Amino acid sequence: MVKVVHQLRELRQLLGALGPTSFVPTMGNLHEGHLDLVERAATFSQPTVVSIFVNPLQFAPHEDFNAYPRTRDADLAKLEAKNVDIAFVPLVSEIYPEAQSCFIQPADSLGSILEGAARPGFFTGVATVVLKLFNMVRPARAIFGAKDLQQVRVVEAMCRQLALDIEIVVNPTSRAADGLALSSRNGYLNPAERAEAPRLFRVLREMARAVGEGDTRFLQLEHRASAELIKHGWAVDYISVRRLIDLEPPSLIDRESLAILGAAKLGNTRLIDNVEVDRRR
């Protein structure tokens, strides 16, 4: 039976009896992508803790904090079916008990680019809540999805820079049959937008193929991909070729591992995705 816990006090009591755990932080509205993270957690053969918390700190005032889907009972049934040990479902007041809080601000070189440029303050909100959840759960490891690649890099850097003894495990992006990365925000799409949405993955995959085959005209490729999306009604935040390791722009001389990252809006729905480059030349 999954144990549903709302308060830190109870969480600590339960954890004391469990020993080292694997932890999957989420904002709920669980889909197969989340459940794949839970399955990955189970491969470590230690108890699994999943948190469900829609973190107000990572939403700007004009963003979708209030509209964000909250499907608690369905989420808990899915965690029960996956044999999760603890579902930690705190109230906002449990995570932020004081009116003012200190924050974890990622280095600008990582926290203020790409998603951080499009959503100022976003990674301060993410890093702060992730550190807080880590301190509450004190897991041996935490599992994150590659769909949010920059979030993974921010969390890895935080663990490195603040000497946290937590292994960060990255699980591949789970996709629908047509390639669209699974995401809670896909639920905002109307049928016509849902049919259009896989184009983001397709243009990123096409760019990754071109770069993998040796095309180094990155700016031209980025412009072409953006134009293709704009032509089909998207508003593009960025499409960018980056070094996989630190998301810096690549140099033309070194043969670094690369990824193509993109974020764009279809109607009112903002989607992100990324594709690693398989370099053949």
Ligand X SMILES: Nc1ncnc2c1ncn2[C@@H]1O[C@H](COP(=O)(O)OP(=O)(O)OP(=O)(O)O)[C@@H](O)[C@H]1O
What are the C-alpha distances in Å from 153 to residues 16, 62, 112? 30, 26, 12
CB of 151 to ligand BAL, least distance (A): 6
Q: Is 27 in the site for ligand PAF (CB under 6 A)?
A: yes
Give a three-class secondary structure readout of 87-102.
EECCCHHHHCCCCCCC
CB 119 within 8 A of CB 60: yes
Per-residue b/e over 204-224, b at no fewer than 16 CB within 10 Å?
bebbbebbbeeeeebeebbee
Q: Among residues 22, 25, 173, 222, which is the contact residue for ligand PAF, using CB under 6 A?
A: 25
Q: Is 184 in the site for ligand X (CB under 6 A)?
A: yes
CB of 208 to ligand PAF, least distance (A): 23
Verify whether residue 34 is a known catalytic residue.
yes
Q: Is 148 in the site for ligand X (CB under 6 A)?
A: yes
Q: Is 130 in the site for ligand PAF (CB under 6 A)?
A: yes
CB of 17 to ligand PAF, least distance (A): 25
Q: Is 126 in the site for ligand X (CB under 6 A)?
A: no
The beta-strand segments (E) located in 61-208 are: 86-88, 141-145, 167-171
CB 130 within 8 A of CB 111: no
182 is in an annotated binding site: yes
Site residues, ligand BAL (CB under 6 A): 58, 148, 151
- For ligand PAF, the binding residues (CB under 6 A) are 25-27, 55, 58, 126, 129-130, 148, 151
